[in-house]
Amino acid sequence: MTDTPIRLLLADDHPVVRAGLRAVLETEPGLLVVAEAVTAEEAVTRTADGDIDVVLMDLQFGKGMNGAEATATITARRDAPRVLIVTTYDSDADTLPAIEAGATGYLLKDAPPEELAAAVRTAAAGRTALASAVAHRLMNRLRMPGAALTRRETEVLALVADGLSNQAIGDHLRLTEGTVKSHLARVYAKLDVDSRTAAVATATNLGLIRRSGC
């Protein structure tokens, strides 16, 4: 067994969250917090130094790059550190982009300290660490692939939930209005609904998109 500690970077724009993570992790043997980042861009820059084993990455940083984008940039590098998402968001609209970006694990901020430490060690070893709610939803997607929304369908529906028109959604995602309508038609069929309101309500209840105000 090696005595070399697992070196951590905490990437979160809330100082209270970073302090809480540090307080928990520094009590764990073999874990060492070596740096913090308050923006996703700072996390990307800091990991280039090559002395980080695991990044604990939030998803939302206000303006600029988000956590999924930073994860994709970090994991695209040779000999990149592992990225463990630690966030409050557990909808498909959040988890899928992060996992597709290369995150090794996905944990919620209300996880018990022992689960957090275990997830860090699991991620450092290159194994997947998922919050139970996230793992359950991903398993359901695999069991019922025909009923699962694609990433693009989820993005479109999330923007519908934000109150955007089809044209505005198209402008935001660089799609034609006709393509947006086609995505929504498939969403309606998969969710067995016949309106935008019903689609948003059903998807929210299923955890496919984030609840309003979250």
At 170-184, the pLDDT tens digits run: 999 999 999 999 999
Q: State the pLDDT at residue 166.
A: 94
The predicted structure's pLDDT at residue 90: 78
Could you tell me the domains of the chain? 6-140 (3.40.50.2300), 146-206 (1.10.10.10)
Residue 186 region by backbone torsions, left for phi larger than 0, else alpha for psi between -120 and 50, else beta: alpha
Model confidence at 2, pLDDT cuts 50, 70, 90, reads low
Token pair 């402008």 in the structure block, residue: 171
| DSSP bridge pairs for 85 | 57, 106
pLDDT tens string 120-164: 999 999 999 998 888 877 776 666 655 678 888 988 999 999 999
Length in residues, the chain: 214
The two structure tokens encoding residue 15: 């100082």
pLDDT given at position 191 = 87
pLDDT of residue 205: 83
The three state secondary structure string of the chain is: CCCCCEEEEEECCCHHHHHHHHHHHCCCCCEEEEEEECCHHHHHHHHCCCCCCEEEECCCCCCCCCHHHHHHHHHCCCCCCEEEEEECCCCHHHHHHHHHCCCCEEEECCCCHHHHHHHHHHHHCCCCEECHHHHHHHHHHHHCHHHCCCHHHHHHHHHHHCCCCHHHHHHHHCCCHHHHHHHHHHHHHHHCCCCHHHHHHHHHHHCCCCCCCC
Q: With pLDDT > 90 as the criterion, what percentage of the chain qualifies?
A: 68
Q: Say what the pTM is.
A: 0.72
Please give the average per-residue pLDDT across 39-57, as a whole number: 96
Partner residues linked to 54 by β-bridges: 8, 82
Mean pLDDT of 62-87: 94
Residue 1's pLDDT band (boundaries 50, 70, 90)?
A: very low
Q: In whole angstroms, what is the distance from residue 77 CA to residue 94 CA?
A: 23
| 93-109 average pLDDT score | 90
Q: Is the confidence at residue 58, as pLDDT, over 80? A: yes
Tokens 């929304």, residue located? 149
Give residue-wise pLDDT tens across range 159-213. Answer: 999 999 999 999 999 999 999 999 999 999 888 899 999 999 988 887 788 765 5
| Better-scored residue on pLDDT, 213 or 118 | 118
Please provide the average confidence, as pLDDT, over all residues in the chain: 89
Q: Residue range 74-84: average pLDDT?
A: 95
